[in-house]
Structure 1
Amino acid sequence: MKIAVIGAGIGGLTAAGLLCQTGHDVSVYEKRNSLDQVGAGLGIGSNVLKALKQYKMAYAIEQEGASLRKIEIRSDLDVFLNSLIMNQDEHENITIHRNVLHEILKTYVPSDRIYLNHELKEFKQTADTVRLYFENGVEEKFDLVVAADGIHSKVRTNIYPKAIPKYAGYTCFRGVVNENLDIEQEVALEYWGHKGRFGIVPLKDNELYWFCTMNAKENDLKFKSFEKPHLQAYFNQFPNEVRKVLDAQEELGILQHDMYDLAPLKSFISGRVVLIGDAAHATTPNMGQGAGQSIEDAVTLTNLINDRDIESALKRYDKLRTKHTKKVILKSRKIGKSAQTSSTLKIKIRNNMLKRLSSKSLSKKVKFLQKAKLE
């Protein structure tokens, strides 16, 4: 089958790699003039690695990742609240640098099948083909188009003009430090307080990925002007681990983005066009499933296309992925709302509830991630 993939991010390259690997004629179109990535660390859940096991890329990702056993949630005064046990089956959860993951995925797509400086202008469909028109004048016809063009997807906007990303109410800073700070490996830390959250996540070779989230107005100029000294002052009263990480952070290399998600869509399919990743179901990062769900989309789509006729495959993909990712979006949104509260009373109630809840019970709340059907 002749397939176009719009967007060369994690979801797009995973889909392209898997479809190439299973014998399809795939072309990837990226609007930027480079595949360079701007990012820090991310998590790949055991649900994702399990889904990838039948394909070659799972092993490479595992080799470059660092194992993550649990996430400890603590208050900003370093009071232990609860822990989320990650390894709930035989498959590991890992953390990996976004750039490293992207480099791995690139190796599964022939370089001459990736077209840069190709920004999609519009598309037109017949019953069994899709014609793409790019801003540079190129026109091509395909049997199937996989839209992996991100949260601000032009393809989604064409299909669902009212599906606009919704601001979550908080902004996020991220970075990676390379110093050995004597922080326990395989355990991620999250500190929740009145002023926001601060997370510390081990990566491979003693690197650490950190993030912090603060309630803010959308495009808040105050936080857009923040640099390392501002973050150090802002989190000065947080535990020593937080201060050590910020001290080790270089002046450059700090990323800042407002957080958004999408209201769950009723369908990811329009004729022979299929949405995957953030284009379909952008979610806040509170469950660490953004990249993972994009990869699951790609695996599910590939499995179904190789096992069914195209109409049946797309219909099944739509049913499986809209239902499952809706749960992820809503659960992540709920976690963010609770974690980001600045109300003293609500924080007290939340912390007491977390303390009373067993770690096993907390882990059960995300057990549904392991049950996603992929075909």
Structure 2
Amino acid sequence: MHGITIVGGGIAGLALAATLDSGRFHVTVHEQRNTLPTVETSLAMWPEAQQALATVGILPEIQAAGSAFEAMALRDVSGKAWFRAEVAGVIGVSRADLLRLLDAAVPETVARVFGAVTSLPGPGLVVGADGVHSVVRRERWGPRSLERLSPYLALRGIIDEPVPVDEGGEYWGRGELFGIAPASRQRTYWYASYRSDLGPGGVDVAAALDLTRRRFSGKAPGIGRVLAGAAPEATLAQRIWTVPALRRYTRDGTVLVGDAAHGMTPNLGRGACEALVDSVVLAGLLNSRPLPEALRAYNKRRVVRSQALRVASSAMTRLVLAESAQPLRDRILSVAGRLDRST
């Protein structure tokens, strides 16, 4: 049996461990923590990610635990809707539920090691599934691959109140974003982003939440209602980090998946989806082909697509959080909304 060591027991690492052939590989997963996230957030599962979850064998449970998206209204920060974008076929699911179900799908034959990884384990193939701050990427790809700090702060949380029909969607302001979406029939997922000097590490959540309330004060009533119900213990506040462009995800007996390979801004909602697809594609290739051929095929299938999404997500961030260009952006969106309603 060949040895595979997965560094990182998050979405990408667990999905890979769950789909590798246990008769072909001896798999070990290294994870820093052995508990689920203490703060709930929601993730959008696009159709490609749902296909990956079906391969893992947990799609029915995800569908039962999540909530279906139908449309997303795009608004200015006063609450006026420019238009509604169709997002049929997308499922919103709690990150904690997704991790719990992925963890349960991992075979008992997979060895678990808990604790921080500071250098690459071995021998055998090493998989970097350790996120945007990847030790594996740093060790194998060098200083040019180090994560990059963006100027933006992101807050996310869930409140125990349903989303009013006329208040859901994304609110775009001058250098600021606020989103409201259903987490379930009785709960609401919310997120906000704007330029901030807080952090970069150990952001004080209460201070960030207070800053967000002040920033969005006097804007759309729906935003005010959500922030009134938000509590620090149910909120996640982090600076946004990204990974620079990589031409290959394999090097010297290592391979990268998920955010370790293509950590991107969250504005397209594709980070978790692409992590799932990476892992299922890599597992399928390793299960069916010799190792060198499998790694070459993985690069061919995943690098161009995931890097294109990384670039597109950055472009979307610049559009959503535009400052000097915000008036022009809003006029264009207003015209686009009127044209959409007239057709």
Aligned to 1:169: 151
Amino acid aligned to 2:117: L
TM-superposed deviation, 1:23: 5.7
Aligned to 1:330: 311
Three-state SS of the structure 1 residue aligned to 2:234 is: coil
Amino acid aligned to 1:207: R
Instruction: Name the stretch that deviates more: 288-297 or 23-32.
Output: 23-32
TM-superposed deviation, 1:46: 1.5
User: What is the aligned counterpart of 1:200 among 180, 188, 195?
Assistant: 180
**CA pair 220-308 structure 1, distance change in 2 beyond 3 A:** closer
2: CA distance, partners of 1:326 / 1:261:
12
1: CA distance, partners of 2:68 / 2:171:
21
Conserved 8 A contact 1:172-1:256:
yes
Give unmatched runs, 5+ long, in structure 2.
Answer: none
Aligned to 1:47: 48
User: What is the aligned counterpart of 1:182 among 148, 157, 164?
Assistant: 164
2: CA distance, partners of 1:299 / 1:83:
33
**CA pair 19-256 structure 1, distance change in 2 beyond 3 A:** same
1: CA distance, partners of 2:108 / 2:232:
34
Conserved 8 A contact 1:169-1:218:
no
Aligned to 2:272: 291
Aligned to 2:37: 37
1: CA distance, partners of 2:29 / 2:338:
43
TM-score, normalised to structure 1's length? 0.82
Three-state SS of the structure 1 residue aligned to 2:114 is: coil
**CA pair 272-250 structure 1, distance change in 2 beyond 3 A:** same
Give unmatched runs, 5+ long, in structure 1.
Answer: 124-131, 133-139, 362-375
Aligned to 2:123: 141
2: CA distance, partners of 1:70 / 1:64:
19
Aligned to 2:20: 19
Conserved 8 A contact 1:76-1:238:
yes
TM-superposed deviation, 1:251: 4.3
Q: 1:113 aligned to 2:94?
A: no
CA displacement 1:230-286 (0-9 Å, x = unmatched): 433321222111111111223422211011211210110013311001111100000
Aligned to 2:302: 321
1: CA distance, partners of 2:279 / 2:207:
37
Three-state SS of the structure 1 residue aligned to 2:92 is: strand
**CA pair 358-23 structure 1, distance change in 2 beyond 3 A:** farther
Conserved 8 A contact 1:167-1:218:
no
Q: Percent identity?
A: 24
**CA pair 180-188 structure 1, distance change in 2 beyond 3 A:** closer
**CA pair 20-210 structure 1, distance change in 2 beyond 3 A:** farther
Instruction: Name the stretch that deviates more: 229-238 or 170-179.
Output: 229-238
CA displacement 1:204-223 (0-9 Å, x = unmatched): 242111111111236379x8
TM-superposed deviation, 1:111: 5.5
Instruction: Name the stretch that deviates more: 318-327 or 346-355.
Output: 346-355
Amino acid aligned to 2:37: Q
1: CA distance, partners of 2:27 / 2:338:
45
**CA pair 121-165 structure 1, distance change in 2 beyond 3 A:** closer
Conserved 8 A contact 1:8-1:35:
no
TM-score, normalised to structure 2's length? 0.89
Pairing of 1:1-375 with structure 2 (within 5 A): 1-20=2-21, 24-32=25-33, 34-39=34-39, 40-87=41-88, 92-110=89-107, 113-123=110-120, 132=121, 141-142=123-124, 144-161=125-142, 162-183=144-165, 188-194=168-174, 196-217=176-197, 219=199, 224=204, 226=207, 228-343=209-324, 346-357=325-336
Task: Tell me the number of residue pairs that the alignment of Structure 1 and Structure 2 aligns.
Answer: 335
CA displacement 1:276-299 (0-9 Å, x = unmatched): 011111000000011111001011
2: CA distance, partners of 1:194 / 1:5:
42
Conserved 8 A contact 2:44-2:269:
yes
2: CA distance, partners of 1:284 / 1:272:
28
TM-superposed deviation, 1:157: 0.3
2: CA distance, partners of 1:242 / 1:121:
42
Amino acid aligned to 1:119: A
1: CA distance, partners of 2:209 / 2:310:
31
Amino acid aligned to 1:36: L
